[in-house]
Amino acid sequence: MHPVARFLLTLLLVISAAPAGAGQGPQNVAVVINARSYASVAIGHRYAKLRGIPTINLLYLDWDGSTVGTDVETFRQRLLVPALKAIEDRKLAPQITTLAWSCDFPYVIDFQADLKPDSQIDNTAKRFPQGSLTGLTYLTNMVVPKNPVYSQLATNLYYRPAVEDKLLLPTRSFPPQAVWNQQGDTTDTKGVRYWMSTMLGYTSGRGNSLDEVENYLQRAAAADGIYPAGCVYYLTNGDVRAKTRAPGFQGAVTALHELGIEAEITDGILPRDRGNVMGLMIGATDYRFADSGSLVQPGAICENLTSFGGILRENAGQTALTECLRAGAAGSSGTVTEPFAIQAKFPHPMIHVHYAQGCSLVEAFYQAVQGPYQLLIVGDPLCRPWATIPTVHVAGLPAPGETITGQLILRPTASCVSGKHVKRFELYVDGRLMSQSAPAEELTTDTITWADGFHELRVVAYEDSPIETQGHFVTRVQSANHDWEPIKFEVSSVRPAWEDDITIHAHSPHGGALMLYHNQRLVCLTNAEEVTWKLPAAKFGPGPGEFNVLAARGNGTQHSFIGQVVEVEIQPPALSPAIPNPGETRPGLRLERDGQPVQIVERLADDWIAKSGLAADESFVLRGYFTANAAGLHQFQFEFSGDLELLVDGRPQAQPHAHRSTPGWHYYCPVNLAAGWHEVEIRGKLDQHKTLNACFGLQGTQTITGGLFRHVE
């Protein structure tokens, strides 16, 4: 058996052997972050804070490839399998249902290499052998063993089919350990395991700004359980894109009305002057929300059936799915290559019925898409506006300042405003599932197995319905079974500036080793009983996060005391004010080299280095001006190999990856700019690979060209 296939089989057996609750909650989502990218880290950290996702669920990958696409083998080896292995290594496999990819990962995966000449695959997949990041993640158990059946239309056994405007299978939750059979039900025998997936945002190409992503994620989190009064609109027009799904509209509208949800079928591209958009099913090549006069409500799913809605590279045709997110939708989707007008590749109109019954956004999407391999889903997987969320109370907790020893016995209770009952409780310690109980039973765990110190307790209640909506109670406690005294732990600032250093002091009266962690990542290890670390804030990435210190005896591998968590929020870079108008400018950047005449470079891509004659190990400066049309956090992205330094308005920018020995998208630099003119200098010395390409932008990014950057003669 192939070693990767063996790993996946092992993971599947682990999941099947350790049942956990259904529904979706923070402990069920693993957030995958590109550790190189400021935006990816910022979005991942902010989302985890908004949703209360345990920091052990944050998976940091080192991705220096394209933010557009990659081949399927690279996807397997560098993204998918490492993420799954991290889940297994952290003992999270029994509870994770969803991989939420942050931004600056490739959204389109070329699977041509998996299509053997004798593959029984239809011609559509052979003509367009591209799948989406989220679709192929969902189909992991086919993608990892290189089974190209993932590119067919009937691969999703969680799909709830509809015939004659009626659902043939009921809406239901997606359990963590679920293996699905041909009848669309979970099974203990032969079946298929899926991993639900969304991208949280996309900030390159035709993407959104960082502020836009954080805005729609915040709106989505605030929409949980509010039972919104908005309307779901199904749009009809003469376009085949609308006609493809129109046969299912009336059945979905009828079902929504039976649930007490307003819904209507209306003619046009977008509803006009409606302030209550709680869902949209569009079928058009191009549209602009700003022209419609309509407003999208928090938590809405808004998506379009069109060929290139999920193609997010710069200068692609048709309106991108990011337009819906810019308008404030909680989630949207689009295909990453030509799908043809095939209903099975897009959400069925019943997606809004699943959502209105209380499912999370990610569950609603995957119950509505029969063949998800080309569909890119972007947004908040946990959003659930129509959920009846249990309120959880826990008796048996220690009083403030009291420590726990021995057996911990908790007595949870829960209530639902709908009058429904709770069917089960679960206890998580530091993000991991520890025990379960039925209503009126106690939750127990033996704290003797814990390290002394501070721990997070999470009690989850599950509503007694097919949706199994979760409610949560989270607190922190201190255990003391092994006679360890607390660590002294101080952080110089809980809101440090991006450009500043953070000073962290730790002292353990027991000696041994002290280990500093940030979001469960080991940052420093010092074999001393007292230490002061001084570290740049930028090292930890922007946004909210958690520091704690662990003390250990002996060789530093046995954790003996866990320090109290200190929450820190690293602030964005300081605003760079606009500079005076430089006067008359011309397109392009000035290329300056010692002993060489000045040249003008009009595009930092393709073969500009060869055309300019720039040699390896030759120092250079690219100099010019640009205008920021709006204030905000812009980003520079550089693909290079060698040494690189970026200055904006004469000030050097933070450079965590300024020297690299292999080509790649190594350097993502945030720059907080006021609207108006700014000056840029790119200094460097390239190695023998002679690679330097660059992109820049606020709402997405574009290749640096003479249309964006100019020079003064």
> CB–CB of 230/300 below 8 Å?
yes
Of 507, 536, 570, the last residue of a domain is 570
What per-residue confidence (pLDDT) applies to 478? 93
CA dihedral 79→84→87→91, nearest 10 degrees, is: -150
Six-digit token string for 315: 């200068």
Q: Quote the pLDDT of residue 171.
A: 96
**451: CATH:** 2.60.40.10
Distance CA 213, CA 199 (A): 11
The pLDDT of residue 455: 94
CA distances for 203 relative to 43, 96, 279, 558, angstroms: 10, 26, 23, 41
Can you tell me the distance from the alpha carbon of 642 to that of 140, in angstroms, rounded to the nearest whole number? 36
Contact call for residues 266 and 235 (beta carbons, < 8 A): yes
**What's the CA dihedral at 199, 204, 209, 213 to 10 degrees?**
0
Point out the domain boundary residue: 358, 379, 400: 379
d(CA 124, CA 179): 28
User: CA–CA distance from 681 to each of 647, 656, 678, 711 (Å)?
Assistant: 5, 18, 10, 11
Q: Specify whether 467 is located in the same domain as 495.
A: no
> Identity (one letter) of the amino acid at 499?
E
Q: Is 582 exposed, middle or buried (0-12, 13-18, 19+ CB in 10 A)?
A: middle
Nearest to 237 by CA among 269, 280, 279: 269
- Residues 634-666 as b/e (b if ≥16 CB within 10 A, e otherwise) read bbbbbbbbbbbbbebbeeebbbebbbbeebbbb
Do 513 and 621 share a domain, yes or no? no
Q: What is the chain's length?
A: 713
The whole-number pLDDT of residue 22 equals 79
> Tell me, what's the pLDDT at 559?
60
Residues 534 and 598 in one domain: no
Domain that holds residue 565: 488-570
Closest by CA position to 135, among listed 127, 125, 143? 143
Rg of the chain over Cα atoms, rounded to whole angstroms, equals 26
Residues 349, 27, 85, 638, CA torsion sign: positive
With a CB cutoff of 8 Å and minimum separation 6, the contacts of 297 are 223, 228, 230, 276, 277, 278, 328
Distance of CA 568 to the CA centre of its chain: 21
Residues in Cβ contact with 588 at an 8 Å cutoff, skipping those fewer than 6 apart: 600, 601, 602, 624, 706, 709, 710, 711
Say if CB 170 and CB 356 are below 8 A apart: no
* Residue 232 exposure: Cα atoms within 13 Å on the Cβ side: 28
Task: Let me know if residue 463 belongs to a domain.
Answer: yes
| Whole-number Å distance between alpha carbons of 645 and 683 | 5
Q: Is residue 420 part of a domain?
A: yes
DSSP 336: S
Low-confidence ranges of the chain (pLDDT < 70): 1-21, 118-119, 123, 554-559, 655-659
Asked if residue 401 and residue 274 are part of one domain, the reply reads no
3-state secondary structure (DSSP) of residue 343: helix
Do 295 and 440 lie in one domain? The reply is: no
Is 630 part of any domain? Answer: yes
Q: How far is CA 115 from CA 68, 128, 532, 704, in A?
A: 21, 11, 55, 36
Per-residue pLDDT tens over the stretch 497-555: 999 999 999 999 887 889 999 999 999 999 999 999 999 999 898 999 999 999 987 65
The CA distance from 303 to 326, in Å, is 12
* 481 domain-assigned: no
Query: What's the rounded Cα separation, in Å, for the pair 80 and 60?
Result: 12
pLDDT in tens, 326-347: 999 999 999 999 999 899 999 9
Decide if 238 is inside a domain. yes
Retrieve residue 207's tokens.
């993407």
User: Domain end: 570, 596, 618, which one?
Assistant: 570
Same domain, yes or no: 444 and 340: no
Residue with tokens 């081949």: 71
| Domain count within the chain | 4
Quick check: is 581 in a domain?
Answer: no
Neighbours of 45 (CB within 10 A): 26
| CATH code: domain of residue 609 | 2.60.120.380
| 111 in the same domain as 254 | yes
Distant-in-sequence, close-in-space partners of 258: CB < 8 Å, separation ≥ 6: none
The reply to whether 169 and 278 lie within a common domain is yes
Give the separation between CA 375 and CA 373, rounded to whole angstroms: 6
Reading the block at residue 457, the tokens are 């307790």
502 and 354 co-located in one domain:
no
Residues facing 532 on adjacent strands: 505
Quote the pLDDT of residue 436.
94
pLDDT in tens, 427-455: 999 999 999 999 989 999 999 989 899 99
Please state the φ and ψ torsions of residue 249, each to the nearest 5 degrees.
-65, -50
Single pTM value for the model: 0.94
Burial of 529 (0-12, 13-18, 19+ CB in 10 A): middle
Answer yes or no: is 692 within a domain: yes
Backbone angles phi, psi at 239, to 5 degrees: -75, 140
Quote the CA–CA distance of 674 and 698 in Å, as a whole number: 12
What strands, in cross-sheet order, belong to the sheet with 488-491? 488-491, 501-507, 530-536
Q: CA–CA separation, 705 vs 578, rounded Å?
A: 21
Asked whether residue 635 falls in the same domain as residue 701, the answer is yes
How far is CA 236 from each of CA 162, 247, 295, 339, rounded to the nearest angstrom?
Answer: 20, 10, 19, 20
Specify if 329 maps to a domain.
yes
Residues 600 and 666 in one domain: yes
Same domain, 218 and 306: yes
Cα–Cα distances (Å) from 671 to 160, 188, 250, 429, 591, in that order, read: 46, 52, 49, 39, 22
